[in-house]
Chain A
Amino acid sequence: MFYCFQRGLGEEEALKLIVNGFCKEILAELPMEFAVEAKELLAIELEGSVG
Chain B
Amino acid sequence: MALLEINDLHVSVEDSEILRGVDLTIDTGQTHAIMGPNGSGKSTLAKVLAGREEYEVDRGSVLFEGEDILGDEPDERAEKGIFLAFQYPVELPGVSMNNFLKESVNKVREARGEEPLGAADLLQQIREKAELVGLNADLTKRSVNEGFSGGEKKRNEIFQLAMLEPKLAIMDETDSGLDIDALRAVADGVNKLRTDDRGFMVITHYQRLLNYIVPDRVHVMIDGRIVRSGGKELAVELEDKGYEWVREDAAVAA
Contacts and interface: CB of A to CB of B under 8 A. Distances in A.
Interface of A: 2-10, 13, 17-18, 20-25
Secondary structure at chain A's binding surface: helix, strand, loop or mixed?
helix
Contacts, number: 69
Contact of B164 (A2, A7, A20, A22): A7
A25 B94 CA distance: 6
Given A3-B92, A21-B94, A25-B94, A8 B50 contact: no
Given A2-B50, A7-B78, A7-B160, 6 more contacts: A7-B104, A7-B108, A10-B75, A20-B94, A21-B96, A21-B143
Interface stretch (B82-90, B177-185, B213-221, B226-234): B82-90
Contacts of A10: 75, 107
Contacts of B90: 3
B111 interface: yes
B93 A5 contact: no
Nearest to B89: A3
A18 B78 contact: no
Contact of A18 (B79, B84, B92): B92
Interface in B40-88: 50-52, 73-75, 78-79, 83-84, 86
A10 B92 CA distance: 16
A19 to B, nearest CB: 9
